[in-house]
Amino acid sequence: MVSSTFPAVNKCTSIGREKHTVVADMDGTLLIGRSSFPYFALVAFEAGGILRLFFYLLCAPIAGILYYFVSEAAGIQVLIFASMAGMKVSSIESVARAVLPKFYSGDLHPESWRVFSSCGKRCVLTANPRIMVEPFLKEFLGADMVLGTEIGTYKGRATGMICKPGILVGGKKADALKKAFGEEQPDIGLGDRLTDAPFMALCKEGYIVPPNPKVKAVTTDKLPKPIIFHDGRLVHKPTPLLALLIILWIPIGFPLACLRIAAGSLLPMKLVYHAFWALGVRVIVKGTPPPPVGKSNPHKSGVLFICSHRTLLDPIFLSTALGRPIPAVTYSVSRLSEIISPIKTVRLSRDRATDASMIKKLLQEGDLAICPEGTTCREPFLLRFSALFAELTDELVPVAMVNRMSMFHGTTARGWKGMDPFYFFMNPSPVYEVTFLNKLPKELTCTASKSSHDVANYIQRVIAATLSYECTSFTRRDKYRALAGNDGTVAEKPKAANKVMGC
């Protein structure tokens, strides 16, 4: 047994390892989970859709049988073929960069990470396709070298086959290590199973990571980079049972989403709150919203609601909480979303003078909503607030928006934004919490000689404190460069970015 040959990883010291080289396996070693099923399922769904996930799920039992009765390599080969055959290589790279790091980071083994992070040079040996794991390992774990299985490609698409020397398991890991390091002997080898023994024996020290499903994963604040930006539709890591539930739910969830959208679009806003509750959408309202500006006072500017940005539905749920439609200015919204929106949406041109004039005109007509982050963020962070709004009015009411989804994310940076509201409303019981904060005092506005940046930063801090979020200086451009390989101003096909920023 490999466990009797090598000591447990908790016996390995992590002090004074700055000049040492560590070589680690991935599944079951760096990651707590030994199964790579969820990550291949994510590639199948996020790059191929629900039908590809269904095909993958049908092939998974075959992979399991081959894994246990034939070989580990045969089982992994089936998973690779089922999830990747025919896929664009650029789509797989996009999922690996924008989706998988969030899920990998939630499964990081504390003892393995303690040793791995203490070493100055870090290498990972894995049977997983290198294209799938390399972005996470290099950008978030600081790996210097990733030796993994190489997938076959033809005219920019994955064939589902494997390039020589094949699936990197057992002796092939040892061969890859010899080829990469030559006569140099790595200091530490980390593995979790018998097939890892050959490469671990090539290291000066070898340590086994015993299986322990009860061990708690490393918290994301311990990573070299925080996970601020990530993409993909699925909220949770798709285990076989969850993948099956997703496939069975979508034929039910999509008609339900259409019904919920129809209720929000066609009913008077005073009734939408109750209709949502009847249809399983929970709207929680906190704080005291300001009363609407009376039409008898045409000289008074409308209130500008400053909202944190979670989905493009923020202004709709703001209107639902207020019981009256509040127009919203947006940086970008799909044509479909404009058509089904129950409130007036006005696109910003990104020309400062033009946008300022338009917002002032809208405020003359009544209340208005704006999300100064310019794009959504899923994690407990607030992106930088654009300061333009602070120059246009003193009637500022911060609104802290937060939502909870159990199955699907209602935002995307890489996909078609027109489906965002449908995915949000496809959740069995989505929740939106709207918290109205106190109106900004005059002495804290630009009228009192405060700079617009000071006002914007103050409101950002107030909303962040209310939600227990963290303020950042990241912008829309940072997000789209990290997730989609563009600056978010034009629609173009996702492509691999040279560097992932803040993701």
Instruction: Give mean pLDDT, residues 87-104.
Output: 96
pLDDT band at 456 (very low <50, low <70, confident <90, very high): very high
CA distances from 255 to 283, 320, 408, 425, 426 (A): 21, 22, 15, 10, 8
pLDDT band at 449 (very low <50, low <70, confident <90, very high): confident
Rounded Cα gap, residues 348 and 330, in angstroms: 6
Residue 438 has pLDDT above 60, yes or no: yes
Residue 15 has pLDDT above 80, yes or no: yes
DSSP codes of every residue in 360-389: HHHHHHS-EEE-TTSS---SSEEPPPPSGG
CATH of domain 12-215: 3.40.50.1000
Q: Please give the pLDDT value at position 194.
A: 87
Number of H helices, E strands in the chain: 18, 16
- Closest alpha carbon to 461 in 400, 374, 410: 400
Q: Please give the pLDDT value at position 335.
A: 77
* Domain spans in the chain, listed from the N-terminal domain onward: 12-215, 240-483
pLDDT band at 488 (very low <50, low <70, confident <90, very high): low
Instruction: Give mean pLDDT, residues 19-38.
Output: 95
pLDDT band at 295 (very low <50, low <70, confident <90, very high): low
Q: Please give the pLDDT value at position 334.
A: 72
Rounded Cα gap, residues 267 and 251, in angstroms: 25
DSSP codes of every residue in 254-288: HHHHHHHHHHHHHS-HHHHHHHHHHTT-EEEEES-
CA distances from 47 to 89, 148, 241, 414 (A): 10, 21, 20, 10
Whether the CA torsion 364, 368, 374, 380 is positive or negative: it is positive
Least confident of 133-137, 191-195, 335-339, 352-356: 335-339
Least confident of 64-78, 182-196, 329-343: 329-343
| Per-residue pLDDT reduced to its tens digit, 394-433 | 999 999 999 999 999 999 998 888 899 999 999 999 999 9
Rounded Cα gap, residues 113 and 30, in angstroms: 6
Cβ within 8 Å of residue 484, ≥6 positions away: 94, 98, 231, 413, 414, 494
Could you tell me if 462 and 441 are in contact, meaning their C-beta atoms sit under 8 angstroms apart?
no
Strand blocks (E) in 37-144 = 121-129
| Per-residue pLDDT reduced to its tens digit, 140-185 | 999 999 999 999 999 999 999 999 999 999 899 999 999 999 989 9
The amino acid at 23: V
Say if pTM beats, i.e. exceeds, 0.75: yes
Residue 232 has pLDDT above 90, yes or no: yes
Instruction: For the chain, give the mean pLDDT.
Output: 91
- Closest alpha carbon to 322 in 272, 259, 371: 272
Residue 499 has pLDDT above 50, yes or no: no
pLDDT band at 297 (very low <50, low <70, confident <90, very high): low
Q: Please give the pLDDT value at position 501.
A: 28
Could you tell me if 34 and 192 are in contact, meaning their C-beta atoms sit under 8 angstroms apart?
yes
* Burial zone of 291 (CB within 10 Å; 0-12 exposed, 13-18 middle, 19+ buried): exposed
pLDDT band at 270 (very low <50, low <70, confident <90, very high): very high
Residue 375 has pLDDT above 70, yes or no: yes
